[in-house]
A and B are shown apart, each in its own frame.
Chain A
């Protein structure tokens, strides 16, 4: 018999390494054609950090995103940024890149104030122009950079950021493990075939507090991928060991969800500004798959009355618990 159910899973998750310093740094240089070079140690492993960090630098300098050239994760030339892990790069390298861009920006602002004969505090950089707030005074970035060339000024910046954490007390584990936290809720709808143990995840609605969505498309991609991974984690993926060796080390026997197993995923981006994040942003990478399995297990309970505390809930586990629990 096919039974359907709905379940909810919620989570909070610390951004960055736990109770440890984990700084990142970045270098920025603005060129006379209004382009910029960004050097960051942050490894883009497909999540899109090169894009997000370039967006942050472009926003800070008032130049076009397309004109920010990123060199990343090259130990020969890029500064330390720590690992692409712990959902930390948008938050930590994002801040480092923002600070590096701000230092370069200050050079441009100082020069603009000089040329426009106004207060530095009133200078805005936007759309490759420098404006004086509340006046019609302005000068193009190209002109500013031409003047830099003439005066021998290099428009460069460096920046670093280390989240405000403390080591944890060895006995009590008290301390400040993370500078900020991500929050999320997933709602899953499942169909359970109670005779065969087949469980189909039909839909996942996934709401994530990301602080500020620097790149909404990338965040939706992260959430969709996370939901798929979380659903496989709940129902299928399992590392099998024999005498300490993994017996299913290949994708032919360590099974992942295929395109045919994918549920409908509805990502919802919640923007609750994080004051310490770059433009209010924080991480979403790992949070995207954390509430999925609890939501699915709750949905199975809602559908069938069977409460599972082990994952994955394979067809066997479902059948054995449902039909044979008194045999044990």
Chain B
């Protein structure tokens, strides 16, 4: 491992100042569960590492004016232990719970998971169906984007060199909404998603008529994608078994189109139907029982 300069500022403003002033290949250390491995494997050779572990003001999960706001240094454990998230954004709870192991979840942060921009990220598909916004801060101000709009390929984002992701926020889904996440990993824990699906379905009050549907797929493209044509199958119609089956076929087609001609294609073409059908059926049953 090559030597690097290390900073551990005690608040975000100090961190932003350091980030803005230092030169060279600089990296933000949040939980370190991806960054440290990348350094160790010499995939990256940073000259400066800015550790956010001492920044007290970036670790929170709160409700404000109909929105849930999550500080970017909140760990996966913080997210899954939040009653607010469990009740109002089950999809995020489930996706974060499926990531890694308790030890990794204790360190890994939600902000780091987004910025790492892995194709197989667990949190991003969930945040996409929640239509989450991310806040990027720098000494020169604040920019806000939809989460998917900052992802620009594998391990790539559109962040400026002096920006730090500080907050993730999304509107709390209405009472007539059900959400969920399902991933396929090679084993029951400590496994990277081979494919994943996050889904949100909102119905008109006291009906099964779909007002809004959002579906995001992980590990089928360089970054998670919204399956808009599959969402259109559901929107405006009464959710039924038949409709779910149609939607599952469209999801599989979208996956096939995005995966391209890879050896995993036959497997993923089929297995995405399995996880999609299971998730949509579960949400369908939940809508019935609501």
Q: Are A197 and B267 in contact (CB under 8 A)?
A: yes
How far does the alpha carbon of A172 sit from the alpha carbon of B195 in the complex, in Å?
52
Interface size (B, Cβ < 8 Å)?
19
- Per-position 1/0 for A185-202, Cβ under 8 A of B: 000000001111110100
| Cβ-based interface call for A259 (8 A) | yes
| Cβ-based interface call for B274 (8 A) | yes
Residues in B neighbouring A314, C-beta threshold 8 A: 186
- Tell me the minimal C-beta distance from B105 to chain A in angstroms: 13
Q: How many A residues are at the interface, by size bracket?
A: 20 to 34
Most A CB within 10 A of own CB, among B188, B190, B194, B270: B270
Residues in A neighbouring B235, C-beta threshold 8 A: none
| Cβ-based interface call for A236 (8 A) | yes
Q: Is the interface of A mostly helix, strand, loop or mixed?
A: mixed
| Cβ-based interface call for A258 (8 A) | yes
- Per-position 1/0 for B162-191, Cβ under 8 A of A: 000000000000000000000010111111
- Tell me the minimal C-beta distance from A266 to chain B in angstroms: 20
Residues in B neighbouring A194, C-beta threshold 8 A: 274
Q: Are A258 and B188 in contact (CB under 8 A)?
A: yes
- Tell me the minimal C-beta distance from B252 to chain A in angstroms: 11
Contact flag A324-B187 (CB < 8 Å), given A195-B273, A196-B275, A315-B194:
no
Residues in B neighbouring A320, C-beta threshold 8 A: 266-267
| Cβ-based interface call for B229 (8 A) | no
Q: Are B267 and A255 in contact (CB under 8 A)?
A: no
Q: Are A324 and B266 in contact (CB under 8 A)?
A: yes
| Cβ-based interface call for A151 (8 A) | no
How far does the alpha carbon of A316 sit from the alpha carbon of B263 in the complex, in Å?
10
Residue in A193, A255, A258 whose CB lies within 8 Å of B101: A258
Q: Are A315 and B187 in contact (CB under 8 A)?
A: no
Q: Are A260 and B266 in contact (CB under 8 A)?
A: no
Q: Are A315 and B266 in contact (CB under 8 A)?
A: no
Q: Are B271 and A255 in contact (CB under 8 A)?
A: no
- Tell me the minimal C-beta distance from A260 to chain B in angstroms: 4
Q: Are A261 and B266 in contact (CB under 8 A)?
A: no
Q: Are B187 and A255 in contact (CB under 8 A)?
A: yes
- Tell me the minimal C-beta distance from B191 to chain A in angstroms: 7
| Cβ-based interface call for A319 (8 A) | yes
- Tell me the minimal C-beta distance from A98 to chain B in angstroms: 43
Residue of A nearest to B272 (CB): A196
Contact flag A316-B189 (CB < 8 Å), given A196-B184, A258-B101:
no
- What are 30 A-B interface contacts by the 8 Å CB criterion? A195-B270, A195-B271, A195-B273, A195-B274, A195-B275, A195-B277, A196-B184, A196-B278, A197-B267, A197-B270, A197-B271, A197-B274, A200-B188, A255-B186, A255-B187, A255-B191, A257-B187, A258-B188, A260-B187, A260-B188, A260-B189, A261-B188, A314-B186, A315-B184, A315-B186, A315-B194, A316-B264, A316-B267, A319-B266, A320-B266
